[in-house]
Chain A
């Protein structure tokens, strides 16, 4: 195992805890009847967004999924306007027009969560095409699940990115389920990374619950992609600890199965085990970060509750750039 700078480790932990506590709070608020819409939580998958997106520059692009809060946070979005958006308030990133499923912060290259499974894949391919045309050196990362992997758009995007050698990383978050459907039923191969072969790009399967493994894999992929070699596929094995959406009765799996995964393979616990054993961080270091993030999340929620809803006149704002609506 390589040594890491302390600040980097603290940042990894901060991001993972930020995602965890943010999501726990969102879940709580939803169950309390405070949130409109539907929310899909990223709990249990924090290591992927954190280990990977920590290697990106601010102007690199990310196209996300319906499970997008973690991607947003790890790309550098602020949790206050995120929380406000999920509450449907005018202070949210999308001024309340998008909500959880359409959360986005374009100022940090985050091209949006997506309500349509697979919807973001080719947005990333296109962003990578633009980067290549502009010779900007930017890369694009697109996320999809073990379920989303089966949409045609993924295959079209991979092939096109490969023939044009576009700087895009296809990231599969293999969390074992697509809604109620286990990956063992819905997906033709146990390791989706093998599909990369068919598109002539590297594809590796990595433990997505180990933020260090994710980070190492990310660095390799980025080096390859930034050098102009074309696209790369990363498959991260993980587990969706929470229901598909908050409120999911989860009739398709046992509570024991979930508990086992959480006990044995929680990315936060995994991180703590490593850094404590190697004495890279102390429990005190981590506790301080945890407390700081908890306070930050509390403020975000308190503010989101108080913030105003959009006014009626907002309906037709930020619509056609040139106006002209009847």
Chain B
């Protein structure tokens, strides 16, 4: 299969969906002139014109608010947030407007839009440019949240998100953009709400997503050399969560570790732990373990930043503790 980068994969998705449906358009800061900070919008204005690839002022409330409004009026906007950290600026538009209007208005309308948000730690960008905030949004009824880990899923999930009639938050880790991987030709769609078993194993289930999937797979590789067969699940969507795929794996392995870059407290891992504890505690042979960042803002200085990052070795160590 051909290999392309994560950002090229998202670009293909945008391009194909814009071609397929003239109501799809994209708006955000520095996307037409610059092609996006990570090159993820490169060439789109040349192809579709600056009427459908809109550079905006630095006005996040208007970017998201206008996307919601345009969606209510029959368009399919894709709004870019530059950095996920800036969603803070337009939180009302996200959680009071985008997420709620359909329900509040008794189904009179729908909000078929995508909010793209590059997240995660990258080269000491510090406290306001490094966050992973996906868990906030799994606490908000009315939105769907996807978070791919590789180019194929990046493309397939973005296409699914654009075609979805519900508002979708699409988190993309900044470190993943240049990463290459195989992507199927043609109309490749990854359904929202479906996790993927990326590696089969029988001794422990490791659930992860986004960049941490790569650490999890690395850890599984190392564990295999020590005789521990880890099953690694890529969540891909964190709301709605694919309980069945997780439960099925845990029924087999009887051990569960959840890994994410976001702070551990109140994270996606907490939700999954609770689900498994509530519904299948009798299946477990060991305590559930969560691996996430310590409860502290992301520091600037490289050695301090290192302390809040998760490594494959962290995962190996935790898995070994519960596989004894």
A residues with CB within 8 A of B: 36-38, 88-90, 94, 96-99, 101-102, 114-119, 147-148, 150-153, 178-181, 185-187, 251-252, 309-310, 312, 314-316, 319, 325-326
Closest A residue, CB atoms, query B31: A180
User: Which of A94, A97, A178, A312 has the largest number of chain B CB atoms within 10 A?
Assistant: A97
Contact check, A99 vs B301: say whether CB atoms are below 8 A apart.
Answer: yes
Known: A116-B86, A326-B295. 14 other contacts (CB 8 A): A36-B300, A90-B301, A98-B126, A101-B125, A151-B59, A178-B29, A178-B57, A180-B30, A181-B33, A181-B55, A181-B57, A309-B301, A310-B303, A315-B304
Residues of chain A lying within 8 A (CB to CB) of residue B127: 97-98, 102, 115
Q: Which of A37, A90, A94 is the one whose CB lies under 8 Å from B123?
A: A37
* Shortest beta-carbon distance from A73 to chain B in Å: 19
Contact check, B85 vs A89: say whether CB atoms are below 8 A apart.
Answer: no
Q: How far is the CA of A319 from the CA of B308 in the complex (A)?
A: 15
Q: How far is the CA of A114 from the CA of B302 in the complex (A)?
A: 19
- Interface residues in B206-223 (C-beta closer than 8 Å to A): none
Cβ-based interface call for B265 (8 A): yes
Residues of chain B lying within 8 A (CB to CB) of residue A310: 299, 301, 303-304
* Shortest beta-carbon distance from B281 to chain A in Å: 23
Closest A residue, CB atoms, query B123: A36
Q: Which of B34, B265, B301 is the one whose CB lies under 8 Å from A36?
A: B301
Closest B residue, CB atoms, query A119: B128
Q: How far is the CA of A187 from the CA of B59 in the complex (A)?
A: 11
Number of B interface residues in the complex (CB < 8 A) = 36
Closest A residue, CB atoms, query B298: A97
Cβ-based interface call for B88 (8 A): yes
B residues with CB within 8 A of A: 29-30, 33-34, 55-62, 85-86, 88-89, 123-129, 265, 294-296, 299-305, 307-308
Residues of chain B lying within 8 A (CB to CB) of residue A312: 303-304, 307
Residues of chain B lying within 8 A (CB to CB) of residue A89: 301
* Shortest beta-carbon distance from A267 to chain B in Å: 25
Residues of chain B lying within 8 A (CB to CB) of residue A252: 33-34
Residues of chain A lying within 8 A (CB to CB) of residue B62: 152
Q: Which 9 A-B pairs have the closest CB atoms?
A: A96-B301, A115-B128, A36-B124, A99-B300, A88-B301, A150-B57, A180-B34, A37-B124, A180-B33
Contact check, B58 vs A251: say whether CB atoms are below 8 A apart.
Answer: no
Known: A96-B304, A151-B89, A251-B34. A315 touches B296 (CB 8 A): yes
Contact check, A96 vs B300: say whether CB atoms are below 8 A apart.
Answer: yes
User: Which of A90, A148, A180 has the largest number of chain B CB atoms within 10 A?
Assistant: A180
* Shortest beta-carbon distance from B297 to chain A in Å: 8
